[in-house]
Chain A
Amino acid sequence: MDLLTLLLILDSTIRLATPLLLACLAGLYSERAGIFDIGLEGKMLAAAFFSGAVAYTTGSAWLGLLAGIGASLVLSAVHGIASITFRGNQLISGVAINFLAAGLTVVIAQSWFKQGGRTPQLVGDARFEPITLPFADAVKDIPVFGVVYNELISGHTSIVYIALLLVPLTWILLYRTRFGLRLRAVGENPASVDTAGISVVRLRYIAVLICGVLCGLAGAYLATALQAGFVKDMSAGRGFIALAALIFAKWRPWQALFACLLFGFLQAMALRPDVLEQYLGFKVNAQLLDALPYILTVVILAGFVGKAIPPKAGGEPYVKER
């Protein structure tokens, strides 16, 4: 394989891994605090629609992003109220959010734009444009490094760089700060946090809202950066793949990055069956390639990839004894 083909595949790996990574980190904050969230998918979808719709209407991708985050935050708040304040079942609340988002986005899109449940194509400033990093042009003739810098590292949209920066940021926050210590504690043993004089409810709401912001970023990226507009069900199970990646990563940020890159790579390979055929020497069924990330998801969720111990208090509402 020549360097350029490899770079192209890795380049699309990064692009496809970005929404997974954002959703995966979103889930990480929520689940580390003890709130399981299978509603990542729904939040992403709602964010994708509202960012697409607002970006089209205002002509600004950034306003679209804000609208997407807003929509996702509303659903996060619903999940928070159901599972923290009212101590409901977190799985049921998550499922409800997924259904709500899947149905509402299409209905609103149809009544708003009358294009069969999609938004019109986004053009110009309504989409996030690739950013050319400094010196990308200057170094592009340097062998290997120059090409890699120019083709692979430079030329992504700003959300991609935000997502990548969030990985070390999350790591520092989780393991090196007061907030992280408390967040991890509240997911393991909320009573320890409560008796230490810290509000369990407040901590968990903060975690759930961070989750909402990150899902909003992920959804907006789908509609206004990866593609040009919203289409029905465009999240396509990415919220669940992100959950699988989270389990695969055992709820740790760096491992989450690698898990998401692996899934992104599989999705990228599905787009280039020709490359695979060239190297394997036979044609791989396209449907099988498309299905690979989902198959891996099932395998991970079924627990074939080592023992993943979730945060101990995850999924359980906090009730003082008695």
Chain B
Amino acid sequence: MTTAAPAIELVGISKAFGSVQANKDISIRVMPGTIHGIIGENGAGKSTLMSILYGFYKADAGEVFIGGKKTAIPDSQAAIDAGIGMVFQHFKLVDNFTVLENVVLGAEEGFMLGTSISKARRVLKSLSEDYGLNVEPDAKIEDIGVGMQQRVEILKALYRQADILILDEPTGTLTPAEADQLFRILDRLKNEGKTIILITHKLREIMDVTDTVSVMRAGEMTATVKTAEVTPAELAELMVGRKVRLTVAKKDISVGEKILEVKDLSVKDINGVERLKGASFDVRAGEILGIAGVAGNGQSELLEALGGYQKATGSVTYKGAAMDLSGLVSNGQDRRSNGIAHVPEDRQSEGLIMEFMAWENAVFGYHLDPEFRKGWLTDNAAMKTDAAGKMERFDVRPPDPLLKAKSFSGGNQQKIVLAREFERSPDLLLIGQPTRGVDIGAIEFIHQSIVELRDQGKAILLVSVELDEILALSDRIAVMFDGRIMGERRPSETDESELGLMMAGMTKDVA
């Protein structure tokens, strides 16, 4: 088998978007019948490279060889013809079409649809059986879960007789159980002779399923190694370019009094659907309560209600006094002045104003404080000086208060929000998805900052869909599913598989 031509060989691929060099002279060989991982931080150029291979972007320079033959890929049709299928991170499905219609789209036989659909039904049935890709052919996409939607994407590629399957961050929206199922499917595909390229930023996935792994950093391919011959720590170092601590150091401190007590908190959305269904828990001083769960199970509504911009029912007590849950504008202001800081889940739409400069963003919510006022005017000079100091201390790069928020990378945007909220030394911190879309290097810093705040005896409510993050930081873990708290665990008493089951709604705690 060693003499076989590579399934894919890329030689000298370069691609720039404006002044940003997304891919620099990248060469890579992927051997047939293997699972080849491509790992790298956000913005390292992994997705760009694969989009070039799929004909979604045009490379500025470089050549593509498929099965040893030089192949031009000017558009997606050419990639499909060359036997390449791609499952994008954000699925490319038509929501109000059925599974069958989505599979057939673009691969119809003849002008009338009837024969195409019935053929697709037949082929889909046998593909489903062959690879364990269970789908409902006549269900609409909007009515099925993400796990099945992903299987539809895989089936789309197989229906087009793809031999090479590219998956871009496939586990981002899956529960651990669904991810395991996906990896079993990938294994089966590999055994049938398919070649699989798996793009991810999760070290664990690379270690678990790939045969070979290529590491990308800042648009360049830094290494390609056999997975069996490398450790996670070495991979992390290759990704970031320096040594990274993958664990978080925490002091043992004794927890203090109850800071936040939540009882039967419920939230209905604008359509009257109950999103949060009677959540109850408490957070004490000096502890981090981690809320785990797959995105969309009520965590966002929980944070919004506690943050004061979502109407809720039930009762919330903060330092012994009842909180106003009306969701009126004044709520947020009250909470800040009482020492509650909030780092929202979506920094780009809730945490920052992208078109505003860093110094403005670094003061929002606290702009009415006396130190930032000159009579009834704002003291912009004081705000800028303050922002420059915060950016320095939180290692925001570049440390320029006059840059617009949108000019910073995801990690640095997040650091601006953290600097604003942390430097007030709040008694309670509400923090959602602190490291979503943030590089490993910045993750290390953010995790450290959160733990430092806890070590100072502050209460922290952490909401994250990253189970690794929850396990690394939390003193206690509560799992949410379908708007309910499924149960609480201590990190030392549980593991990923138990939490994963609870995230999927299965637990012995709830009758």
Write the nearest CB–CB distance from A176 to chain B, whole angstroms: 6
- Chain A neighbourhood of B80, CB < 8 A: 196-197
In the complex, whether A185 has a CB less than 8 A from a CB of chain B is yes
Write the nearest CB–CB distance from B410 to chain A, whole angstroms: 14
A23-31, A68-76, A187-195: which lies at the interface: A187-195
Bitwise, A188-231 to B at CB < 8 A (1) or not (0) is 11011111111100000000000000000000000000000000
B95 A189 Cβ-Cβ under 8 A: yes
Write the nearest CB–CB distance from B77 to chain A, whole angstroms: 3
B17 A181 Cβ-Cβ under 8 A: no
B88 A195 Cβ-Cβ under 8 A: yes
In the complex, whether B106 has a CB less than 8 A from a CB of chain A is yes
A188 B96 Cβ-Cβ under 8 A: yes
- Which residues of chain A (17-42) have a CB below 8 Å from chain B? none
B28-36, B108-116, B247-255, B350-358: which lies at the interface: B108-116
Write the nearest CB–CB distance from B161 to chain A, whole angstroms: 13
B112 A178 Cβ-Cβ under 8 A: yes
A181 B105 Cβ-Cβ under 8 A: yes
A192 B94 Cβ-Cβ under 8 A: yes
A192 B102 Cβ-Cβ under 8 A: yes
A196 B113 Cβ-Cβ under 8 A: no
- Contacts known (A188-B95, A195-B88, A320-B57); A182 close to B106, Cβ less than 8 A: yes
In the complex, whether B75 has a CB less than 8 A from a CB of chain A is yes
**Whole-angstrom distance between the alpha carbons of A177 and B114 in the complex?**
8
In the complex, whether B218 has a CB less than 8 A from a CB of chain A is no
- Which residues of chain A (282-322) have a CB below 8 Å from chain B? 312, 320, 322
A195 B92 Cβ-Cβ under 8 A: yes
Nearest to A309 among chain B residues (CB) is: B96
B107 A196 Cβ-Cβ under 8 A: yes
Write the nearest CB–CB distance from B351 to chain A, whole angstroms: 22
Write the nearest CB–CB distance from A169 to chain B, whole angstroms: 14
Size range of the interface on B?
20 to 34
Cβ contact of A188, chosen from B54, B94, B108, cutoff 8 A: B94
**Whole-angstrom distance between the alpha carbons of A295 and B55 in the complex?**
50
In the complex, whether B56 has a CB less than 8 A from a CB of chain A is yes
In the complex, whether A184 has a CB less than 8 A from a CB of chain B is yes
In the complex, whether A179 has a CB less than 8 A from a CB of chain B is yes
Write the nearest CB–CB distance from B189 to chain A, whole angstroms: 20
- Chain B neighbourhood of A185, CB < 8 A: 94, 97, 105
- Chain A neighbourhood of B76, CB < 8 A: 194-197
- Contacts known (A185-B94, A185-B97, A320-B56); A193 close to B112, Cβ less than 8 A: no
- Chain B neighbourhood of A320, CB < 8 A: 56-57
B106 A197 Cβ-Cβ under 8 A: yes
Write the nearest CB–CB distance from A26 to chain B, whole angstroms: 22
A193 B106 Cβ-Cβ under 8 A: yes
B93 A196 Cβ-Cβ under 8 A: no
**Whole-angstrom distance between the alpha carbons of A189 and B93 in the complex?**
7
A-B interface pairs (CB < 8 A), number: 77
- Chain A neighbourhood of B56, CB < 8 A: 194-195, 320
- Contacts known (A196-B76, A320-B56); A184 close to B94, Cβ less than 8 A: yes
- Chain B neighbourhood of A322, CB < 8 A: 17
- Chain B neighbourhood of A184, CB < 8 A: 94, 97
**Whole-angstrom distance between the alpha carbons of A67 and B258 in the complex?**
80
- Chain B neighbourhood of A181, CB < 8 A: 97, 101, 104-105, 108, 113
A177 B113 Cβ-Cβ under 8 A: yes
**Whole-angstrom distance between the alpha carbons of A189 and B94 in the complex?**
6
B113 A198 Cβ-Cβ under 8 A: no
B77 A197 Cβ-Cβ under 8 A: yes
For chain A, the count of residues having a C-beta within 8 Å of the partner chain is 24
- Which residues of chain B (108-132) have a CB below 8 Å from chain A? 108, 110-114, 116
In the complex, whether B86 has a CB less than 8 A from a CB of chain A is yes
Write the nearest CB–CB distance from B100 to chain A, whole angstroms: 11
A191 B113 Cβ-Cβ under 8 A: no
- Chain A neighbourhood of B88, CB < 8 A: 195
- Contacts known (A178-B116, A195-B56, A197-B76); A188 close to B97, Cβ less than 8 A: yes
Cβ contact of A191, chosen from B55, B92, B104, cutoff 8 A: B92
Nearest to A173 among chain B residues (CB) is: B111
Write the nearest CB–CB distance from A238 to chain B, whole angstroms: 30
- Chain A neighbourhood of B54, CB < 8 A: 195
**Whole-angstrom distance between the alpha carbons of A189 and B142 in the complex?**
13
A179 B111 Cβ-Cβ under 8 A: yes
B108 A197 Cβ-Cβ under 8 A: no
Nearest to B17 among chain A residues (CB) is: A322
Write the nearest CB–CB distance from B26 to chain A, whole angstroms: 18
A176 B113 Cβ-Cβ under 8 A: yes
- Contacts known (A197-B75, A197-B77, A312-B95); A176 close to B114, Cβ less than 8 A: yes
**Whole-angstrom distance between the alpha carbons of A179 and B79 in the complex?**
22
**Whole-angstrom distance between the alpha carbons of A180 and B112 in the complex?**
9
Nearest to B75 among chain A residues (CB) is: A197
**Whole-angstrom distance between the alpha carbons of A194 and B55 in the complex?**
10
Nearest to A175 among chain B residues (CB) is: B113
- Which residues of chain A (157-191) have a CB below 8 Å from chain B? 175-182, 184-185, 188-189, 191
**Whole-angstrom distance between the alpha carbons of A286 and B108 in the complex?**
55
- Chain B neighbourhood of A188, CB < 8 A: 94-97
B105 A182 Cβ-Cβ under 8 A: yes
- Chain A neighbourhood of B95, CB < 8 A: 188-189, 312
Write the nearest CB–CB distance from A315 to chain B, whole angstroms: 17
A176 B105 Cβ-Cβ under 8 A: no
**Whole-angstrom distance between the alpha carbons of A196 and B93 in the complex?**
10
- Chain B neighbourhood of A194, CB < 8 A: 56, 76, 92
Nearest to B22 among chain A residues (CB) is: A322
**Whole-angstrom distance between the alpha carbons of A36 and B84 in the complex?**
34
- Contacts known (A182-B105, A194-B76, A197-B75); A177 close to B92, Cβ less than 8 A: no
- Chain A neighbourhood of B55, CB < 8 A: 197
- Chain A neighbourhood of B102, CB < 8 A: 192
Write the nearest CB–CB distance from A80 to chain B, whole angstroms: 21
Lowest 4 A-B CB distances belong to which pairs? A196-B106, A197-B77, A178-B108, A192-B92
B residues bordering A, Cβ < 8 Å? 17, 54-57, 75-80, 86, 88, 92-97, 101-102, 104-108, 110-114, 116, 156
Q: Could you pull out 23 A-B pairs where Cβ atoms are within 8 angstroms?
A: A175-B113, A176-B114, A177-B111, A178-B108, A178-B111, A178-B112, A181-B97, A181-B113, A182-B106, A184-B94, A185-B94, A188-B94, A188-B96, A189-B95, A191-B92, A192-B93, A192-B102, A193-B105, A196-B80, A197-B79, A197-B106, A198-B105, A320-B57
* Given pairs A188-B94, A195-B88, 4 additional interface contacts (CB within 8 A): A184-B94, A184-B97, A188-B95, A193-B106
